[in-house]
Chain A
């Protein structure tokens, strides 16, 4: 095995989150890094995971008979299972590697970031969960287009979904390729292709049933592995967090400053903007929203959020402990340091090194397999969300005007999955050495500024009209896109201009209110007859959203 070097290999994990991080965090992953030796345990563990998930896919394929089975697992997922799956969607490789890396580098600020990531969930539960379940069928466009113009609003929502999915998918693919290259010693192209092939297999054959179970298995693996590692690490300090923190402070260059907020969120505009992007962006992510259609009723939809919030919150606390433990156990251990005295693979590998330090090669292998499984599960969810937007929204509703038969619609969604997989692999390879750090941030900005405002206003505000939603949604999309392009990441770092036209990393604080205002303005000034009819259809939508009368029910299996 030739030990090839590649720049910022461990950008892998960070790529998902880097956009949302300040520049220093992205910089912390730099440096020429040698690929790690092949770990046989990792490969065996991973092969077991693939075998099990393909077995599940086979089982799921036999249960996937209708479009409803394909898109929403027949509505037969329980609240607990769905809660685990949502948590799985949220606990990506980025959370495991990136957040521990952040705590490892800057301490408390990493914790602030985790908290911002979590608090969107209560809001989603209080204001959206039951309405989503009562009104939705397969995609969130079912809700936005419930009483508004089908062609226009479906197109808008499908564009929003596909942009988010595409950006997310590219970032995941590139991250996956680098991570697998690093952990398994596989060539980048092969790694990306492997992820693409498995993703296509899960989604085309097993649909939502397979996607959900892959996500559940991975969530359980991740939660147990994280807990085990945290316990092993804490045991070295007599299970005393304060003792561990004390030693971390002594070893870290930040000293006691490690334990308090630092420079990360010093600028209030950026701080609030980041909070808004994470909170409202989550409520507009198509692969998260579609999870609300997989349960039988509003009751189960609510339960899934409680479980999800519990699991995610618990995991974020574990991540904080792991980051702190890595400072003490890993940061000064010559086994994990390069010739330059820096951590091998950059700060995002902190948790991997910690795994080896507390559990040996066997446990490192397990954690590597978990990281790979995490990526697979997340890309499968994304692919399914993208495929539904193409087949259910664009093909069946816009192109066929709702006259498509179910078999053709399912075939289209499978072709769409295949196309998306091929495209994702192609783009993953094309973007290998590009700066893609902005992509997830942009995805959150679009989700929060285009998808979320249209969705929430169409559900809650009687006055929303097709014109308002359409113009407002596109203005939100355009504002988010423009401000990201003019912002520091793209304008300065990629395009090479001296200063950013728009000084902040996150446009959310401007683009979300802009979208809300535009939807409101173009709705109230809409005096057309059609607008009157749309408002007239609100009471029926309102009753259904509140009571579930006429809502989609679970199919009988």
Chain B
């Protein structure tokens, strides 16, 4: 990969669009999972009784069970959301950038 192609790609507005969109999306999703996880850990450390409340009258399962399972499901859904967009929209943009280089 020559210096010239690097400069052409860096100057390509589509490339800039790709990088801007993708990093914004990636950092947003990262922020969500970090906030949720460390928020949860801090609740476990400082206010554990919140998670120990039973789900309702006559229930043994506590709030902590769906919350914990929810974090696992959320992790999966966020990765799924990222891949759907990255392998679709971002991959298309990426291909266009590379095709323009060969023109």
Contact = CB atoms under 8 A, between A and B. Distances in A.
A547 B98 contact: yes
Contact of B83 (A123, A305, A548): A305
Contacts of A303: 83, 87
Contacts, number: 163
Contact of A122 (B22, B48, B53, B78): B78
Interface string A122-135: 11011100100000
Interface size class of A (residues with CB under 8 A): 35 or more
Interface stretch (A202-210, A258-266, A477-485): A258-266
B30 A126 contact: yes
A268 B39 CA distance: 11
Contacts of A546: 15, 18-19, 22, 94
Nearest to A539: B6
A265 B71 CA distance: 17
Interface size class of B (residues with CB under 8 A): 35 or more
A262 B62 CA distance: 13
B97 A260 contact: no
Nearest to A260: B52
B62 to A, nearest CB: 4
A543 B76 CA distance: 29
B65 A265 contact: no
Q: Is the interface of A mostly helix, strand, loop or mixed?
A: helix
Interface stretch (A111-119, A450-458, A489-497): A111-119
A419 interface: no
Interface in A263-277: 265-268, 271-272, 275
Contacts of A48: none
Nearest to A265: B44
Given A118-B72, A122-B30, A126-B27, 14 more contacts: A108-B51, A111-B68, A115-B72, A121-B75, A122-B29, A122-B78, A262-B48, A268-B42, A275-B38, A303-B83, A306-B80, A540-B1, A543-B1, A549-B98
Shortest beta-carbon contacts, A-B, top 5:
A260-B52, A261-B48, A268-B45, A126-B26, A550-B1
24 contacts: A108-B65, A122-B29, A122-B82, A126-B29, A242-B60, A245-B60, A257-B52, A260-B49, A261-B64, A267-B45, A271-B42, A271-B44, A279-B37, A302-B82, A305-B83, A309-B75, A313-B72, A313-B75, A313-B76, A540-B1, A540-B3, A543-B1, A546-B18, A547-B15
